[in-house]
Structure 1
Amino acid sequence: MNLKNIYKPSPEFKTETKNLFLAKFGEKFGSYQRTNFAFKYFIRGIGVGVSFAFILSVTAIYADGRNVGPENILYGFKRSQEAVSITFSSDEEKPEAHVRLAERRLNEIKGVQNKDPKSPLIVSLKNDLAREIKSSVKTVKSKKESKLVGEGRVLPGVDKSLPTGVGTETSEVNELGVDMPPARSSQNLQATNVRAIDKKSSRLCRSWDQIIGDDGELIFEVVNKDRELRAWFEENCSSSLRESSGEESHIGTPQKDSEKSPGSDD
C-alpha cells in the first residue's frame, strides 16, 4: 500500500487552503504593510522635494554670482536670488541694496541696447530700473520731512498721542491751539533723528553719484517720467549731482530757450 498516494492532497484542497491562508494573513498583516509602504513613499517624496529645492537654490546662487544677462536661461533664477537678498537685508541696508540692483538693470539695458536697440526687453528692464530707484528712496525721508522732524512737528501718518521717546515730552497744543515748544530732551532726540535722516539721504545720494557719472542720461530719462521720483531727486540729490557732474542737474529742469544751441529749432 502506497500511503503517499493515499494522503496526497488534491488540487482543490491546495487551492482552498492557499486562499484561506492568504485571507487570514491579509487580515493580520495587510494594513501594516500598506501603512509601511505609504510611509516609505512619503519619505521618498520629501527627499525628492528637498533635493529639487537644493538644486534650485544652488542654481540661483550660481546665476546671481555670474550675474547672467536677461537673455540667459538662468536669468529668472538670478532675479529670485536678488529678491531673497533684499528680503533678508536690514532697513539700513535696503536703500543701497536697491541701488546695486538698479546698477545691474542699467548694465543689462546697455548690454541689450548694444545687441538690439529695438529689443522689447529694454522697456521691461527700464520699468524694473524705475522700481529699483523707487525702492531705494522709499525708506529715506526727504529734506522737507527732516525739517518737520527738526521743528518737532508730527509727520503725516504718525499718531500724535505716541511719545517721541522714553522719558520725553511731545509738543503740546494749548487751549488756543498754539503749538508749545517741546521739552529739551525731546529737542535733542529730534536733532538726532534729523542727523540720522540727513546722513542716510546723503549716503544714498553718494551711491547714486557713483552710478550717474556714466549713465546720467538714462537715469534722467527714467526719473523724469515719474513726478514723485523727480521731486525727490530735485530736493535731496540735486546739489550732489551738480558737484559730481560739474554742471546743473538735468533732472526735472526743462531746457530754456536761451540755453538752446544756435542751430536748434525754435
Structure 2
Amino acid sequence: MSELVLQQPKIKSRAMKELNAVATIAARDITLFFKSPGMIIMSLAMPLLMMGMLGGSLAQNMAAGLGFNYGKFMLVGMLVNMLFMSTTSGISSLVEDHFTDFTQEMMISPVSRYSIVIGKIIGSSFGAIVSLIGTLVVGLVMGITLPVSQILAVLALSPLMCLSAGALAMIVIGLIKSNKMANLAVMLITMPQMFLSGAIIPINNSSGVLFVISRLMPMTYCLDLVRAVVYAGTPEYDSVVLFNPAVTLVAIIAITMVCLMIGTLFFARSEKNK
C-alpha cells in the first residue's frame, strides 16, 4: 500500500511532463502559423478554390435528380476535407524539422514519442480549424448554410477528424526523406480521399475496386459520422449516410489508433536512422 502511495506522485509527474510536451509542441506550431502570412492566406484561399470553383461546377452540372440537397451535401464534405487537407499539410512540416534537427532535439527529450506526434497533430489542427471557418464563409457566399447547432456539432467532432488525418499522414511523412516530396505526400493523402470518400461525389453505388478503396480510407468514415450528425432526423438521412454511426465511430477510432502506432514507429525510426 505504501509503495502505491509513493508511486502516485511519480505517475502524476510523468503525466504532467507528457501533457506539457504536447502543449509546447502544439503551441510552437500555432505560433509558426501566425508568423507565416502564406499559411494563413492558403488556409483561407483553399476553401475558395475547392468549394467555390470545383464544388460550384459540380453543383451546377450534376446536382439534378440526386434526391437530396447537393449544396448541403457538398458543404459538409468540404468541411471534413479541409480538416484533413490542412492537418496533413501541417504534419508535412515534420520533414523540414527533420533537416533543421528540431525533431532530433525532441527525440532525445525524456518524453513519449506519442506525445511528440500528438502535439504536432494538435498544432497542425489549428490551421485546419481556420480552413473550416473559411469553408463556412465560402458556403455562406454561395447561399449554403448550416444551423448553428449543426456547426457546433461539426466543431465538436473536428478534433477526432484532425487526429485521424494526422495519424494517417504520419505513416507517409515517416517514410519521406526529401522536402520536395512533402507537398506530393500531402496530395497523395488528401486528393484520392476527396474524390473517393464521398466528400463531393456520392459513393453510394460504388463497386469493385473503387468500393474497396473507399472503405479503406479514414475520411470515408469521418465524413459519414459528420453527415450522420448533420442529417439526423431528416428525410435525406438514408440517402446520404452509409453506415450506422456507432459502427462508424468504432471504425474511426480503430483506424486512427493503428495509423498512429505505425506512423509513430516510422517517425521514430526515421530519426534514429538519420
TM-score of the aligned structures, taking structure 1 as reference length: 0.25
Larger radius of gyration: 1
Hey, which of these two has a bigger chunk of helix by percent? 2
The structure whose RCO (Cα within 8 Å, separation 6+) is larger is 2
Question: When the two structures are superposed, what TM-score results if normalisation uses the length of structure 2?
Answer: 0.24
